[in-house]
Structure 1
Amino acid sequence: MLSSLGINGPNVRQQIAQVLNFALVLSTAFMLWKGLSIATNSPSPIVVVLSGSMEPAFQRGDILFLWNRAERAEVGEIVVYNVKGKDIPIVHRVVRSYPEDSKTAETGETTTSQKLLTKGDNNNADDTNLYAEGQSYLDRQEDIVGSVRGYFPMVGYVTILLSEYPWLKTVLLGIMGLMVILQRE
């Protein structure tokens, strides 16, 4: 049937195989990301440092590996947190910890949650002006994405270049598309 349409069978099979291989690579990367998210208990187990606020500990472009299985964060620990209403996570050090007791209405049990104050190593003031309006501390359970457990220096600088120069994304996608089309087995 394909030959009656003027389409060469083996060539079409090769193109379909290339598309399926590309889909396999994408789905494998997605599954690895989701697996890491489950293992680390973090929605974003790997982040890139985007600013110099943590220098000299971390530089722009460092990739950080996060772990979010501990119930508490210790003073001096470096955490990544999200601010309500903002998309970019912030990497800063815990400078103060406040335990807060609360009773649940249903059971009457007292639970202790942890409230945190953070600060960038390279900043003069703490982060209270970075938090959401009306928020004077972070909640360990709600705001913290994870604690830093390891890093690779400068490996994530490509991410910074792509965000600072949006045209670079188009160029890279075009090159990748050409590679998929021109690839021969």
Structure 2
Amino acid sequence: METSTNKNTLKEKFKSFNKKKVIISILLISIAFFGSFFVYFILQISLNTPTPVVVVVSGSMAPNINKGDLLFIQGKDAEDIKNGSAIELDGDVIVFDAWGLEGWVFAPQDPVVHRVIDKWLDGSIWYFQTKGDANPLPDPVPVPEDRVLGAVIGGIPFIGWIKIVLTDTGLVIPLLVIVSTLLVITIIWDIIKGEDAEKDESTENEKEMKKY
């Protein structure tokens, strides 16, 4: 009977450990998923912009800012955005939405990262003339202040290539599905393994009981 009691104790410990493992796995997945949204939300608030980070998807700002760089953006009042020139390259680098901007044919859907080379006030609206450092000509139309998402305040080189490769190859959604599926399978496997272990322990206990 002492042997049976010990096995029951081990069984309960294993069952408890397995449940804890499943709960911890679910918690970690939830933290990773919701944590990324929380961090992004905090960045939006602290940097005063709906788009606090962007990935550079072209080489128009090389060599100062390169394709694949991850940039941090801070919202600025239009009057505080620094003016500059195409020669000195001393103006703020701003991020703006050019998609649908009147007069800009084939405007990119991704946010544009270009330098301010001129600015002026028309009535109550600020306009910015922008240009990529590597481009021979300025952008085709001025950018009104309501299209500006913010100014670049820093960045991490090359890390944005992960996003570019996944987006260009169309692997973002399939990769998310695969990772999510593997995580779910792992949790289910732990549960099934625990149930099988319980059945084995129960069978062993029955055999032990028959001996007495």
Does the alignment reach a TM-score above 0.5?
yes
* AA aligned opposite 2:167: S
CA distance in 2: counterparts of 1:178 and 1:159, whole angstroms: 21
Q: Aligned-pair RMSD on alpha carbons?
A: 2.5
Instruction: Note closer, same or farther for the CA distance 1:168–1:66 as it changes in structure 2 (3 Å cut).
Output: closer
Q: Which structure has the highest helix share of the two?
A: 2
Partner letter of residue 95 of structure 1?
I
Q: 1:120 aligns with which of 126, 132, 142?
A: 132
1:153 has 2:153 as partner: no
**Bigger radius of gyration:** 2
Structure-2 residue corresponding to 1:101: 123
Q: Which runs of 5+ in 2 are unaligned?
A: 1-14, 84-90, 101-107, 191-212
- Greater strand percent: which structure? 1
2:110 aligns with: 88
Alignment identity in percent?
Answer: 30
1:42 maps to amino acid: T
Match of 2:142 in 1: 137
SS of alignment partner, residue 123 of structure 2: strand
3-state SS of 1:127 partner: coil
Q: TM-score, normalised by structure 1?
A: 0.75
Aligned to 1:43: 50
Deviation at 1:146, TM superposition (A): 0.8
Q: Which residue type is aligned with residue 90 of structure 1?
A: V
User: Which string of whole-angstrom CA distances, capped at 9 and with x for unpartnered residues, describes residues 127-181 of structure 1?
Assistant: 11xxxxxxx31112x1111100001110111001011111365246414532453
Residue ranges of structure 1 left out of the alignment (5+ in a row): 1-8, 103-112, 129-135
- Once residues 159 and 138 of structure 1 are traced to their aligned partners in structure 2, the CA distance between those partners, rounded to angstroms, is 27
SS of the equivalent of 1:53 reads coil
TM-score (norm: length of structure 2): 0.66
For each residue in 1:82-122, what CA deviation from the matched residue of structure 2 results, as whole angstroms up to 9, or x when unmatched?
024363100000111111224xxxxxxxxxx3110101111
- Kindly provide the amino acid, as one letter, of the partner of residue 91 in structure 1: V
Give the aligned partner of residue 178 of structure 2.
Answer: 174
Q: How far apart, in 2, do the equivalents of 1:52 and 1:179 lie?
A: 37
Shift of 1:13: 6.7
Aligned length: 159
